[in-house]
Structure 1
Amino acid sequence: MSAHTVTRPLTVGDRTSSEPRTVADVLTGSGAVAPPNSPVLGALAVASLVSPVPGGVPTGFDWNAHDPVSVSDVVSADTVITRVSGRTARRYIRLVDRAGAVRESGTETWTFDDEQPAVPELDFCAPAWGALLAEILSEDREFTSSLSTWDGTIGLRSGETELHLRIYKGRIVDVTRRTPHGATFTFVAPDHAWADLVLSEENDFMRRAIRGEFSSTGDGYEYLRLTKPLNTIIGHARALARKARS
């Protein structure tokens, strides 16, 4: 069983990885019993492969067995903390087979007695994160010049958290959860995809986009046309996050 590399403070980007084991061995070791082809095999295995979040109490579990494992499969469990806010934290879990394919995945919610330390640089798409990002973007001439004739709103969404950057001729004039007329387009990704994108060793935004890890809502033409400034936004988000975790 694996353990988090840090116990306090809990931070977005904290990861664990278990050793590969057969599902049958994991279930036998834990005393769990289920039919050989049960759809809950993966969830039962994860409960034994992954350590609890230190200091937290599990209060939610959303699991997706998109390619259910069998008792003979050799699997490992990878986890990453995707959001820490107030007294709650979310952890994403992947159940990966020997070939490296993600067979099942899901998100846990953990609750704590006390408020967890706030790290705005890692609270993707929250207002405080947006304010930090807007300050840096406003000083980036490449970003402002690329939008010098544009009038619109770029939306950024991480899971259920959404932020709007209202832009007029290269200037960010407002940072808010919602603008009155909505976003021109919104860049959408799950919390774990934001964590992977922003905290990976290199900025592989374009490669991930081509693989379909992200989506968009609103004006698709403007989304594609503004790929360059969006890539700049991601680059600065990466700088903020990596500095916060350094």
Structure 2
Amino acid sequence: MTDLGERTVVSATTSDGTAEGGRWFEDFAVGQRWTSPPRPVTDDDLATFTRLSGDDHPLHAGPDAMLQGPFGIAVAMGLLQGLGIHGEAVLGLLDTHWAYRRPIRVGDVLTLDVTIVRCHRTSAGDRGVVTRHMRLLADDGTTVQDGTTSALLAARGTGPDPAGRAFGTVTWAETITATLDVAEDLASWDGTIGLRSGDDEVHLRVYRGRVIDVARRAPRGATFVLGADAATWLEIVEAPENPFMRLAMAGRFTVTGDGYEYLRLTSALHHLVDAAREIA
């Protein structure tokens, strides 16, 4: 079980392979995880998908044939449906961002790991977008394909929603600044720090060591913007110790704007990440 504030969710599969979970927007929370039962790849899969897709390139024939790349997406979507975590509240698929890491061949045994990385209510309030990070794994544990997909789900009510893992949003940043103490680190600094998670970006205006405003955009833009995907922010808040510097050194973050000011504020950013971990 994973304890998410006032919400406890079961992130495991039942004995028959069907995941326990919710089906409305409010039943999903960033950090929930599921793993599918294994799914073998057969000769019939190759023949059927070749016929359906019309892709009969020589790569997909012979003793060392590779399955067509989109076969992996199709299998991932089928395994996702088989987990049983989505029901009648699903209104449609919004996007898919996908990468092909290694070939899929007949004889491979595939499983799907699913992690919720973003839950965002629409402005109407009666529905929300749930983004799933999905990894299709071979039987040796290597990732063959991975990416994110977002679905639109109906909601039971209109909120409010937990802010601790709503990375890159105004409510998230406001909750962080309520617990943030970086006066010493920022005592002589005036400017705007941008934080981005995927498509969500928020700006923190700083004056003499205090955050004086939090908004989607500062009037003059950000001095610099620190960005990462939602999966990286999730890794940061769930790690046993603050991994910000390690992930930054590994290139998991991007910085746009004034890189010199970003380097000057490394200590302050580390404390900011500490605050993000605390509220999560």
What TM-score results when the alignment is normalised by the length of structure 2? Answer: 0.74
Matches of 2:238 and 2:35 in 1, distance apart? 17
Given the alignment, which residue of 76, 79, 82 partners 2:114? 79
CA, structure 1 residues 217+60, in 2 after alignment: closer, same or farther (shift >3 Å)? same
Matched, 1:48 2:81: no
Matched, 1:223 2:258: no
Matched, 1:171 2:210: yes
Residue 177 of structure 2: aligned partner: 134
Larger deviation, residues 90-99 vs 160-169: 90-99
Residue 10 of structure 1: aligned partner: 28
Matches of 1:173 and 1:128 in 2, distance apart? 15
Q: Which amino acid aligns with 1:155?
A: G
Shift of 1:32: 6.2
Over residues 57-94 of structure 1, what are the superposed CA-to-partner deviations in whole Å (9 max), with x where a residue is unaligned? 44223132332431243433211111212222111112
Q: Which amino acid aligns with 1:221?
A: Y
Residue 33 of structure 1: aligned partner: 49
Q: Which runs of 5+ in 1 are unaligned?
A: 242-246
Residue 243 of structure 2: aligned partner: 204
**How many pairs align?**
235
Residue 111 of structure 1: aligned partner: 152
Given the alignment, which residue of 97, 106, 109 partners 1:63? 97
Given that 1:3 and 1:16 are in contact with CA atoms closer than 8 Å, whether structure 2 keeps it comes out as: yes
Matches of 1:206 and 1:224 in 2, distance apart? 11
Given that 2:95 and 2:151 are in contact with CA atoms closer than 8 Å, whether structure 1 keeps it comes out as: no
Shift of 1:15: 0.9
Shift of 1:12: 1.2
Matches of 1:32 and 1:110 in 2, distance apart? 27
Over residues 181-206 of structure 1, what are the superposed CA-to-partner deviations in whole Å (9 max), with x where a residue is unaligned? 11111111112221222223332222
CA, structure 1 residues 197+27, in 2 after alignment: closer, same or farther (shift >3 Å)? farther
Larger deviation, residues 219-228 vs 146-155: 219-228
Shift of 1:37: 3.1
Q: Which secondary structure does the structure 2 equivalent of 1:16 belong to?
A: strand
**Which protein has the larger Cα radius of gyration, Structure 1 or Structure 2?**
2
Q: Which runs of 5+ in 2 are unaligned?
A: 1-16, 51-59, 61-65, 122-126
CA, structure 1 residues 4+183, in 2 after alignment: closer, same or farther (shift >3 Å)? farther
Q: Which amino acid aligns with 2:103?
A: V
Matches of 1:206 and 1:99 in 2, distance apart? 30
Q: Which amino acid aligns with 1:210?
A: M
Residue 244 of structure 1: aligned partner: none
Matches of 1:92 and 1:37 in 2, distance apart? 22
Q: Which amino acid aligns with 1:83?
A: R
Given that 1:63 and 1:104 are in contact with CA atoms closer than 8 Å, whether structure 2 keeps it comes out as: no
Matches of 1:164 and 1:95 in 2, distance apart? 35
Residue 125 of structure 1: aligned partner: 168
CA, structure 1 residues 116+10, in 2 after alignment: closer, same or farther (shift >3 Å)? farther
CA, structure 1 residues 238+21, in 2 after alignment: closer, same or farther (shift >3 Å)? same
What TM-score results when the alignment is normalised by the length of structure 1? Answer: 0.84
Matches of 1:109 and 1:198 in 2, distance apart? 22
Q: Which secondary structure does the structure 2 equivalent of 1:120 belong to?
A: coil
Residue 145 of structure 1: aligned partner: 184
